[in-house]
């Protein structure tokens, strides 16, 4: 909604709608089949929904996020310094090969992988 509140609907058999954030301040959202991530206006992330793969337990408590993305059981956050933070599932290397350098400007997730765009136009 325009005021930054989150509305959920649809199936919740995997807990997808459990614990959706209340109040305002969410400026972006991303979701997979069982969990969702919200980016707040203060640069923090909030997670809700299923947690079978650590999607919520491992969520970072830091600030400075400018973008978020979700894959199947894992999430990625892009920070304002051009680095990424990953959390959730790692059984298919969703997290282990994440780039550790700065200079990233965009992120996206597939089911079992993630990609990032560097400021020079290359994809990692």
Asked whether the predicted pLDDT for residue 27 surpasses 90, the reply is: yes
Residue 36 parent element (H or E): strand 35-40
Task: Give yes or no for residue 15 having a pLDDT over 80.
Answer: no
Q: What is the pLDDT of residue 114?
A: 94
CA distance to 78, 96, 104, 118, per residue, from 100 (Å): 12, 10, 10, 12
Asked if residue 2 has pLDDT above 80, the reply is no
User: Pairing relation of β-strands 104-109 and 114-118?
Assistant: antiparallel
């Amino acid at each position: 909604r325009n005021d930054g509140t989150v509305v959920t609907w649809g199936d919740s058999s995997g807990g997808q709608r459990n614990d959706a954030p209340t109040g305002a301040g969410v400026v972006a959202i991303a979701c997979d089949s069982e969990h969702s991530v919200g980016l707040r206006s203060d640069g923090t992330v909030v997670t809700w929904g299923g947690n079978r793969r650590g999607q919520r337990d491992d969520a970072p408590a830091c600030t400075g996020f400018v973008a978020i993305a979700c894959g199947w059981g894992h999430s990625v956050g892009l920070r304002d310094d051009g680095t990424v933070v990953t959390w959730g599932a790692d059984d298919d290397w969703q997290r282990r090969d994440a780039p550790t350098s700065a200079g990233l400007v965009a992120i996206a997730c597939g089911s079992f992988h993630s990609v990032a765009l560097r400021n020079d136009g290359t994809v990692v």
